[in-house]
C-alpha cells in the first residue's frame, strides 16, 4: 500500500471508537474545536471535516459499542459505513476510554474492535483516555498500571494518550494528540487501515462460522478471556452452564473442529474468497494480536507514544495538569 502520509502537514483521517457514552462525539468536537457532532446518543456514523494546525482533518464519529438502541447488524453496518466515510481508510482508530467507569466496566472492547474491523485494525488503534482530571496522580498511576489497562494496551503495542475534551482542551493538547498520531502512522510507514474487501453478508457469516473461522475464533476467545460475554455466548451455543458441565465447552469445540475439517474443503471450493472470514477479513483475524502473538503472549508494558512520556508512568504520562 503506497504511503500518502507525506509532507509537513499530511491529512489525517480518524475514526472514533468506544463504548456507548464514552465521550466520542465530545472528543470529535474538541479536536475540531467546533460543536459539529451532536453529543448524546449517536445512532449513525458521521463525518466532519476541519483544519487543525494547517492540516485537513476528517473525523468519523460512530455509535458506541454495546449501544442498546441498535441491533448487532445495525451497529456493524454503521461501523462499515465509518470506513466508507473516510475512504480509502482511516489512519487511526481512536479508542476513547472514559476513566470514570473504566475499572468497573467488564465489557470486552477489544473483542468488539476485532469483530468489526479485524485484527489488522489493532496496529492502527490508539487508546485515548479521558476523564483523568477526576483522579489524583496516584489513582491515575494505579489505573494505568493495572492488569486491566495493561491487557488492553498490549493489543495496541501500548499506545495511549490522555486528554480531557471538556475542559483544558486547547490547541496545545490537540497538537500533542496529533504528535502521537503522527508517530503511530510513522510506525505504520504512512499506511492507513484498509479492510481490503467489503464484508460479506451476515448469512454467509453464519454458514462460515460452523466451518473454518469459528473454531479458531472460539478457542481464542476462551483463551483471551474468562470474559463474561464470551462465556455467555459459548454457554448459549452449547446449551450448558459451564459451572454445571465444565467439559461442555471443550466438547463443543471438538465437535465444531471436526465439522470444520469435513466442511473445510467443500467450503473452500465453494467460497468466492477462500480464507476470508465472516466480515471479509482473513479467517485468522480473531484470536491473535500484534505480530502473530496471542493476546496472552504480548508484552504487558504500556508504552506512551510521546517522547516526553518515556519517563516512569507515575511521572510524565500526563498532558493534562
Ligand X SMILES: Nc1nc2c(ncn2[C@@H]2O[C@H](COP(=O)(O)OP(=O)(O)OP(=O)(O)O)[C@@H](O)[C@H]2O)c(=O)[nH]1
Residue numbers 165-194 binding ligand X by CB under 6 A: 165-166
CA torsion angle 120 121 122 128 (round to 10): 170
Task: Report in angstroms the alpha-carbon separations of 261 from 207, 208, 257, 268.
Answer: 14, 12, 6, 11
How far is it, in rounded angstroms, from Cα 68 to Cα 91? 28
Shortest Å, Cβ 22 to ligand X: 4
CB 70 within 8 A of CB 25: no
Q: Does 25 bind ligand X (CB under 6 A)?
A: yes
CA R_g for the chain: 20
Choose between 168 and 247: whose C-beta lies nearer to ligand X: 168
> In the chain, at which residue ranges do the beta strands (DSSP E only) sit?
12-17, 46-52, 55-61, 92-98, 125-130, 160-162
**Quick one: 129 or 156, whose CB is closer to ligand X?**
129
Residue 81 binds ligand X, judged by CB under 6 A: no
DSSP code for 38:
P
Residue 321 Cβ vs ligand X, minimum distance, rounded to whole Å = 14
CB 151 within 8 A of CB 227: no
Taking CB under 6 A as the binding criterion, the range among 13-21, 85-93, 215-223, 306-314 that sits at the site for ligand X is 13-21
* Binding-site member from 13, 18, 19, 25 for Mg ion (CB under 5 A): 25
Footprint on residues 101-140 left by ligand X (CB under 6 A): 130-131, 134
DSSP 15: E
List the one residue from 15, 28, 42, 305 that touches Mg ion (CB under 5 A): 42
CB of 207 to ligand X, least distance (A): 32
| 23 makes contact with ligand X (CB under 6 A) | yes
Nearer to ligand X, 59 or 295 (CB): 59
Residues lying near Mg ion in the complex (CB under 5 A) are found at: 24-25, 42
Residues lying near ligand X in the complex (CB under 6 A) are found at: 18, 20-26, 39-42, 63-64, 130-131, 134, 164-166
Amino acid at each position: 500500500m503506497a504511503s500518502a502520509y507525506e509532507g509537513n502537514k499530511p491529512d489525517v483521517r480518524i475514526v472514533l471508537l468506544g463504548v456507548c457514552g464514552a465521550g466520542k462525539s465530545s472528543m470529535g468536537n474538541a479536536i475540531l474545536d467546533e460543536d459539529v457532532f451532536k453529543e448524546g446518543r449517536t445512532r449513525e456514523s458521521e463525518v466532519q471535516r476541519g483544519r487543525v494546525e494547517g492540516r485537513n482533518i476528517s473525523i468519523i464519529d460512530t455509535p458506541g459499542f454495546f449501544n442498546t438502541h441498535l441491533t448487532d447488524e445495525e451497529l456493524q453496518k454503521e461501523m462499515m459505513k465509518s470506513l466508507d466515510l473516510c475512504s480509502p481508510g482511516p489512519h487511526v482508530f481512536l479508542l476513547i476510554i472514559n476513566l470514570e467507569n473504566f475499572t468497573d466496566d467488564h465489557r470486552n472492547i477489544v473483542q468488539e474492535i476485532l469483530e468489526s474491523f479485524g485484527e489488522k485494525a489493532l496496529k492502527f488503534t490508539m487508546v485515548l483516555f479521558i476523564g483523568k482530571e477526576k483522579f489524583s496522580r496516584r489513582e491515575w498511576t494505579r489505573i494505568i498500571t493495572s492488569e486491566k489497562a495493561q491487557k488492553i494496551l498490549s493489543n495496541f503495542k501500548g499506545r495511549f494518550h490522555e486528554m480531557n475534551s471538556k475542559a483544558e482542551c486547547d490547541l496545545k493538547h490537540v497538537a500533542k494528540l496529533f504528535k502521537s498520531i503522527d508517530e503511530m502512522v510513522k510506525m505504520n510507514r504512512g499506511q492507513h487501515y484498509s479492510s481490503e474487501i467489503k464484508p460479506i453478508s451476515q448469512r454467509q457469516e453464519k454458514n462460515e462460522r460452523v466451518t473454518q473461522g469459528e473454531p479458531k475464533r472460539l478457542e481464542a476467545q476462551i483463551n483471551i478471556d474468562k470474559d463474561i460475554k464470551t462465556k455467555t455466548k459459548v454457554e448459549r451455543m452449547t446449551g450448558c452452564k459451564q459451572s454445571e458441565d465444565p467439559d461442555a465447552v471443550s466438547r463443543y469445540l471438538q465437535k465444531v473442529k471436526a465439522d470444520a475439517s469435513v466442511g473445510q474443503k467443500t467450503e473452500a471450493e465453494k467460497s468466492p474468497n477462500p480464507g476470508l472470514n465472516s466480515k471479509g477479513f482473513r479467517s485468522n483475524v480473531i484470536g491473535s494480536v500484534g505480530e502473530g502473538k496471542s493476546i496472552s503472549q504480548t508484552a504487558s508494558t504500556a508504552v506512551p507514544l510521546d517522547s516526553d512520556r518515556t519517563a516512569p508512568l507515575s511521572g510524565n504520562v500526563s498532558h493534562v495538569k
